[in-house]
Amino acid sequence: MSLPPPAPPFADWPVQITTRAGYIWYAEPGVFVTQSHIERATLDDVRAMTQRVDTVLRLKKAELAKRRGLLIVHDWRSLKTWDNGARQLMVERAHERKRGVLRGAVIAISVNPLFRLLAQVVNVTMTALGGTSVDVVDSIEPTLQKYGVKKPFYGARFPGEG
């Protein structure tokens, strides 16, 4: 896959998973992190990401229970839009997850007003369906500091990979 390297603040993070859309990491304390490098998210992009979330929830169930669930942090500042099927799958997957498996979700997006509106609609929908609310932010660094997210060690593998 020919992607640019991870951008700050993940430029010095060891790559765990590369997808068509960008990068995915599992970090401490119980955090699923993504960084996009595309402008349009497709159904396949979202499916690849949600399957990785499901893997972490399954393989790290006991550890995450002690942490009150998985924290999801998305750096999607490159995204400008997403396909309807992609948005629908995200909402469906959030709805299917049991209450308490996620302790929070944060999405950093660009100031694109249309995309921000779409993210807020997903947030309202997920909250109305009983899911975790999503914080929409402009910058990812304060989120990493707030939750004490640690860069994975070199050689650390994503759960279920190798």
Structural domain includes residue 114: yes
Residue 72 forms part of a structural domain: yes
Look at residue 162 and tell me if it is in a domain: no
Helix axis angle, 43-59 to 84-96, nearest 10°: 20
Give the total number of structural domains in the chain: 1
Domain membership of residue 132 (yes or no) is: yes
Contacts of 102 (CB under 8 A, 6+ apart): 69, 70, 71, 72, 131, 132
Residue 11 forms part of a structural domain? no
In a domain? residue 142: yes
Q: Is residue 107 part of a domain?
A: yes
Q: How many Å from the N-terminal Cα to the C-terminal Cα in the chain?
A: 19
The pLDDT value recorded for residue 132 is: 64
Residue 7 lies in a domain: no
Tell me, what CATH number does 80's domain have?
A: 3.30.750.24
* Paired residues of 25 in beta bridges: 33
pTM comes to 0.88
CA atoms of 18 and 133, how far apart (whole Å):
27
C-alpha span between 33 and 31 (Å, rounded): 6
So what's the pLDDT on residue 129?
Answer: 43
Q: What is the pLDDT of residues 7-34, one digit of tens each?
A: 999 999 999 999 999 999 999 999 999 9
Domain extent for 120: 17-146
Q: Which two tokens stand for residue 156?
A: 């650390």
